Amino acid sequence: MNLKKIKIPLHWQILGGMIAGLIWGIIAVNSGYGQFTSDYLKPFGTIFVNLLKMIAIPMIITSLIVGISSLSDIKKLSRIGGKSIGIFLLTTVMAISIGVAMVNIFKPGEGIPEETKQQLMAAYADKAGSSTEKAADFKERPPLQTLIDLFPENLISAATDNKNMLQIVLVVILAGIALILVPADKTEPVKKLFEGLNEIILKMVDIIMYMAPIGVFGLMSAVITEVAGDDPAKAISILSALGRYGLVLIVALILHMLLVYIPIVKFVAKLNPITFLKKMRPVQLLAFSTSSSNATLPLNIENSTERMGLSKDVAGFTLPLGATVNMDGTSMYQAVAAVFIAQVFNMDLTFSDQLIIIVTATLASIGSAGVPGAGMIMLVIVLNAVHVPAEGIALILGPDRILDMCRTVVNVTGDAAVTAAVARGEYAIDEEVFNG
């Protein structure tokens, strides 16, 4: 038997790392290895996530330039942009509506005993305060600041911060358009250069992914020890008090995948949804373990173009855009959490309050960055809009990291499903690669 030929598929490698991390995390919590885990194991997770984030901007630049430069007309670009933003908005509103319906039907906030409520408020008051402050900074900005922020004044400094992903997308689109307009004989070497660079970057992603099992192991074991803290018994009692809230959110997230993404893939992208979900597995597992759409972006781009056969001009545009603005899981979470907190405080939300939640959660999810915990900071804005006390965030902080992992899976799946839908309209799917 030739051992070299046995290659474990990426999703099994990631899953293996997750399960091992989970088991170690439980052992560490019970035998006092929490500090050891955060000092000596978590760093491997951090290195892995850093490498992924590091490759995100070069990957966006090269794949988008290669994609756009292969287009013959600019109209196609604005069509792709218009369609993706339209579908992104639609899926976000659907996600929030499913969430709001579920939390109103099952009312997870109504059974929480007063004593538990007080304990949660006391335990997490500090952390909730810091989220409220961060959200306040965001709210004080002038109305069009978000639009202004899309246009960098300096390319180099824009490319040095992952938060500026959209700025880079815009600059690259501008460069791509110029590339199309300049006569081909002058641009040929540049195109070749970017094609070469793009191949190198794809290979770098492959190399980084060799580290996935150990990276994911570090991340998972640290999540378990951090959630459990110094007092695992208390953590378990908090998690079970909030069990119904978590369950309602997780079921709503699954429903969104089944009721929205599967039909989009089947009827709009006209692809087999089972194959789509199978091919999404490594991306979803990575999103789950990193809790970050940004860190998952390089693998999502590689997976969509190389394994699903979606073209680079579409995927190179919609995926970075989606990682920043399309967060269905996050928007649903913000709506469910807002209604849940109102229920715990015995506040009645009127129908128009619920509509305000739909609008503000859409905007707040667009404003959330693709990093762990970002959605919770922007939740403050949704709470303020319906006059629910922002301190109520303390109620849901306990299980937030775990729910963040789940909503990030939905966020990245939504980006890929919309990419497939847009690609179908542009005749930009290589079915042989998709089914291969």
Over the window 205 to 244, marking each residue x when it contacts ligand ASP by CB under 6 A and - when it does not, the resulting string is ----------------------------------------
Please report whether residue 411 would count as binding ligand ASP according to CB under 6 A.
Answer: yes
Nearest in space to 48 (alpha carbons), one of 87, 79, 66, 21? 21
Nearest in space to 404 (alpha carbons), one of 432, 379, 433? 379
User: What is the DSSP code (8-state) at residue 347?
Assistant: P
Q: Which is nearer to ligand ASP, 87 or 374 (CB)?
A: 374
Q: How many residues at the interface with ligand ASP, by CB under 6 A? A: 16
- Residue 404 CB, shortest distance to ligand ASP, in Å, is 5
Please report whether residue 165 would count as binding ligand ASP according to CB under 6 A.
Answer: no
Helices and strands: H and E segment counts in the chain: 22, 0
Q: Which is nearer to ligand ASP, 294 or 305 (CB)?
A: 294
Please report whether residue 374 would count as binding ligand ASP according to CB under 6 A.
Answer: yes
Q: Which is nearer to ligand ASP, 311 or 331 (CB)?
A: 331
φ and ψ at residue 429, rounded to 5 degrees = -125, 130
Round to whole Å and give the CA distance between 375 and 253.
15
Please report whether residue 289 would count as binding ligand ASP according to CB under 6 A.
Answer: no
Per CB under 6 A, the list member of 313, 328, 404, 415 interacting with ligand ASP is 404
User: Residue 333 half-sphere exposure, CB side, CA atoms within 13 Å?
Assistant: 33
Q: Return the SS3 of 341.
A: helix
Please report whether residue 388 would count as binding ligand ASP according to CB under 6 A.
Answer: no
Please report whether residue 372 would count as binding ligand ASP according to CB under 6 A.
Answer: yes
The stretches of 153-242 forming alpha helices (DSSP H) are 155-158, 165-181, 184-209, 212-228, 232-241
Round to whole Å and give the CA distance between 431 and 246.
38
- Residue 177 CB, shortest distance to ligand ASP, in Å, is 29
Burial degree of 430 (CB within 10 A; 0-12, 13-18, 19+): middle
Nearest in space to 329 (alpha carbons), one of 376, 365, 281, 379? 365
- Residue 329 CB, shortest distance to ligand ASP, in Å, is 6
Q: Which is nearer to ligand ASP, 175 or 250 (CB)?
A: 250
Structure tokens at 289: 């373990």
Per CB under 6 A, the list member of 91, 225, 292, 311 interacting with ligand ASP is 292
Round to whole Å and give the CA distance between 8 and 224.
26
Please report whether residue 291 would count as binding ligand ASP according to CB under 6 A.
Answer: yes
Name the residue whose CB lies closest to ligand ASP.
375
Over the window 322 to 361, marking each residue x when it contacts ligand ASP by CB under 6 A and - when it does not, the resulting string is -----x--x-------------------------------
- Residue 377 CB, shortest distance to ligand ASP, in Å, is 8
Please report whether residue 370 would count as binding ligand ASP according to CB under 6 A.
Answer: yes
Burial degree of 73 (CB within 10 A; 0-12, 13-18, 19+): exposed
Question: Segment near ligand ASP (CB under 6 A), from 36-44, 88-96, 165-173, 372-380?
Answer: 372-380
- Please report, as ranges, the residues that interact with ligand ASP according to CB under 6 A: 291-293, 327, 330, 368, 370-375, 404, 407-408, 411
